[in-house]
Amino acid sequence: MKLSQRQIEIFNAVMIYKSATAAAETLGTSQPTVSRELRELEAHIGFELFNRFGKRLTPTNQALLLHSAVSRSFVGMQEISRVALSIKQHNAAHLRIASLPAYAEAYLPRVAERFLKARSQVHLSIHSLEEVVLRHDLTTQMFDIGLTEGSIQTEDATAETISLGEVVCVLPYNHALASKSVLAPRDFEGVDFVYFAQEDPYRRKIDQIFDAEGVSRRYCVETTTATGVCSMVASGVGVSIVNPLTAAHYAAKGVALRRFGVPVPYQVSLWRPAKELRSTHADLFVSVMRQVADEVVSRLRDL
- CATH classification of the domain holding 40: 1.10.10.10
pLDDT of 26 > 80? The answer is yes
Better-predicted residue by pLDDT, 294 or 82: 294
Residue 152 vs residues 63, 95, 145, 268: alpha-carbon distances, Å = 30, 20, 12, 11
For residue range 72-116, list pLDDT tens digits in order: 776 666 665 665 655 554 455 788 898 988 899 889 999 999 999
CA 196 – CA 204 distance, rounded (Å): 9
Range of the domain at 47: 5-69
Q: Are residues 141 and 175 in the same domain?
A: no
On the question of pLDDT at 230 being above 60, the answer is: yes
Is 255 contained in some domain?
yes
In a domain, residue 207? The reply is yes
Q: What is the C-alpha to C-alpha distance for residues 294 and 233, in angstroms, rounded to an integer? A: 25
With respect to residue 88, please indicate whether it lies within any of the assigned structural domains: no
What share of the chain in percent tops pLDDT 90? 37
> Residue 81: what pLDDT?
63
* % of the chain at pLDDT higher than 70: 87
Q: Is the pLDDT of residue 183 over 70?
A: yes
Q: Are residues 137 and 215 in the same domain?
A: no
190 to 182, 187, 210: CA distances (angstroms): 18, 9, 12
Residue 79 domain-assigned (yes or no): no
Number of separate domains in the chain? 3
Higher pLDDT, 193 or 128: 193
Q: What's the average model confidence in pLDDT over 142-171?
A: 82
**For residue 171, what pLDDT is reported?**
97
User: The domain that contains 145 carries what CATH number?
Assistant: 3.40.190.10
271 and 259 belong to one structural domain = no
| Per-position DSSP letters for 69-93, written without gaps between them | HHHHHHHHHHHHHHHHHHHHTT---
pLDDT given at position 77: 62
Output the CA–CA distances (angstroms, integers) from residue 159 to 134, 268, 299, in the order listed.
14, 10, 26
Task: For residues 279 and 121, give the distance between their C-alpha atoms in angstroms, rounded to a whole number.
Answer: 14
pLDDT for 74: 67
Q: What is the mean pLDDT of residues 110-137?
A: 85
- Residue 86 falls within a domain, yes or no? no
Question: Could you tell me if 160 and 271 lie in one domain?
Answer: yes
Q: Calculate the dihedral angle through the C-alpha atoms of 109, 112, 116, 122, rounding to the nearest 10 degrees.
A: -130
pLDDT at 130: 77
Assess whether 199 and 249 both reside in one domain: yes
Answer whether residue 256 is part of any domain. yes
State the SS3 of 209-238.
Answer: HHHHHCCCCEEEEEECCHHHHHHHHHCCCC
Measure the CA–CA gap between 124 and 94, rounded to whole angstroms.
6
Does pLDDT of 274 surpass 80? Answer: no
The per-residue pLDDT for 156 is 64
Q: pTM for this structure?
A: 0.66
pLDDT at 90: 46
Once rounded to an integer, what is the mean pLDDT over residues 132-142?
72
Mean pLDDT computed over 220-229: 91
Residue 265 is inside which H or E element, if any? strand 265-273
